[in-house]
Structure 1
């Protein structure tokens, strides 16, 4: 993922009681509490940490919430192991592979896999997105409805390629990648999260290197999520593909997953 240098991000406390949290995040991330002409605000709120783009036409705030909204609906009604992502990573009766999500983002796909019983390690290298994810995981860990799911999720901060190259634990059976791709859609059609993150993150111009590192480490398969009509990542060709309405999963098989 290409880092975007962004000095125009400030940290805000929404409510007096959240000032200590705002100060702590500002210090930890090397951000200021006030920036002239700030474009983004990382906000400590009663509902958790959130990122808000500033300006008249800005979308609403984004935060990680595993307890309500889309995550909760998918957990309760999402179709279980019949979901495409479950098939792509190789879930089957008696098989719940260890998964490394090396492009975790807001953790939505990792949460689905953990809900279905997988042990999931998450890597997010953009520090602000990693902070949102860490905050969401912490809040969810204290909720009895999803506490057991949270125990199956482990967040690692750092550069995915470096972490994969220096991996010292047992290799993950499956590595899952969902890199940012060159943006061609009209802005009105793009999800709020992507509109917000693209100026901060940019495109994953090192996706071929990330794929190569994943193929070198994963013991059983690598799965890459792509827009349905997008080209494959440069490098090795997938063994097969699962295709949906708007996205597809390119699967790079190394050996069969067995119970």
Structure 2
């Protein structure tokens, strides 16, 4: 009887997901294999044979990968510091960390445009103190996109890592130090391995988010194309919904491949997790 009630409670949500997510995704994927009423792989062959399309895909993967690595490099020590604080200070620091999530991605991107532009805050400051002689071209480059994406997704990796790190028993560190391990050695051999689950989840969120983000690359990348802006261009500007569906399917496949690889890596790094 209890299982029937649970099933009834889940039914509306499952129907909603099926109607507005699963079925549209399956229809989108299915439409890429049929054109003019016949089975075809022409869309995929066209995509992977075109150097321009491949360049866009590789740029997207590079931006997503670098963004993920830098988010981990910045987020890991910050998360560890936050997890070791008292409840009050931890709450304040977490609120500050997740504050960017409370503002629109459009607002954040325009803020970075003001900072990174040729006459922006960064260039004006560096010119004033004499570190550079000419303004740097940062805006409308992959670097600008990565800066915006790090600002956008860093809170996600901090939240996931803090949740894992604060549950690590501090007695494990004390035991390691009592046996002669240095603080750095104890950190590398205890904190890092036990943080793998949060690290994997955070990495997936950042990589997939960077892969599929549209607003930040569109505003900060300018004419630099990534796969999400390329999809929009084909669907809305060029009205080529077939190629747009092919691009969307490729993004979906990459997402599932990344999730599978990260889960496999997690199982290898933390077999008992």
TM-score w.r.t. length of structure 1: 0.21
> Considering only CA atoms, is the larger Rg found in Structure 1 or Structure 2?
2
TM-score w.r.t. length of structure 2: 0.21
Considering Cα pairs closer than 8 Å and 6+ residues apart, tell me whether 1 or 2 has the greater RCO: 2
More helix by share: 2
More strand by share: 1
